[in-house]
Amino acid sequence: MSKPNKNVNVKLDTKVIDGDSCEVLSIGKKEVGYIKPNNESKFDVIFGENIFHTKSIDEGVETLISQYHLHRG
């Protein structure tokens, strides 16, 4: 017997963090991480103490979601 699918709210909001405009990803009521532009026309993805570098915001969102699922234990 399979489990029914659960709906999960995923939001991407814009906030100012350390003087920079960042995209903040929230899953449910938990803030997962944020994506901030850097000087090289790329993006820094911050998940806890980890920093990843991506070429686009979409790639940053995918990185945050995969890290969230990997570490949510």
Helix (H) or strand (E) holding 63: helix 57-71
Model pLDDT, residue 39: 80
Q: What is the mean pLDDT of the chain?
A: 90
State pLDDT tens for residues 50-71: 999 999 999 999 999 999 988 8
How distant is the alpha carbon of residue 27 from its chain centre?
A: 9
Q: 32-49 burial, b if ≥16 CB within 10 A, otherwise e? A: bbbbbeeeeeebbbbbee
pTM of the predicted protein model: 0.83
